[in-house]
């Protein structure tokens, strides 16, 4: 699984990158054989101004043999945004795997 992490306008990038890598790897472990590439964007949308819900976590997953799942989560805390996005991603990947198993949507 190829994991690419981009962090914009957020402090403590090294710690955040390490935390994100650990959480993503753990959360997606059971889907590893179906995942080709994971792209994670974590950013403060409004910069350093104090706005309520301005931390974005966007996760894009490219799958084997094809397809993509994208989750976009906004929250006032980047850790919470990451946790919610990963929860939603696991649900979406489970649904996608079930559809693939049943042969639905294969074209």
Q: Is the pLDDT of residue 62 over 90?
A: yes
- Of 29, 34, 31, 37, whose CA–CA distance to 59 is shortest? 37
Residue range 88-97, pLDDT digits in tens: 999 999 998 8
Q: What is the pLDDT of residue 66?
A: 83
Radius of gyration of the chain (CA): 15
What structural domains and CATH numbers belong to the chain?
Answer: 2-102 (3.30.160.100)
At 51, the pLDDT band (50, 70, 90 cuts) reads low
Q: CA-CA distance, 42 to 75, in Å (whole number)? A: 11
Residue range 9-44, pLDDT digits in tens: 998 889 999 999 999 999 999 999 999 999 999 999
């Amino acid at each position: 699984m190829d994991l690419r992490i981009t962090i914009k306008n957020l402090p403590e990038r090294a710690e955040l990158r390490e935390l994100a890598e650990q959480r993503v790897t753990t959360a997606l472990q059971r889907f590893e054989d179906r995942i080709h590439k994971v792209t994670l964007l974590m950013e403060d949308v409004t910069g350093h101004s104090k706005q309520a819900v301005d931390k974005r976590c966007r996760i894009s997953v490219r799958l084997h043999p094809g397809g993509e799942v994208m989750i976009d989560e906004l929250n006032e805390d980047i850790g919470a945004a990451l946790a919610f996005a990963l929860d939603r991603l696991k649900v979406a990947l489970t649904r996608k795997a079930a559809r693939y198993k049943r042969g639905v949507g294969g074209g």
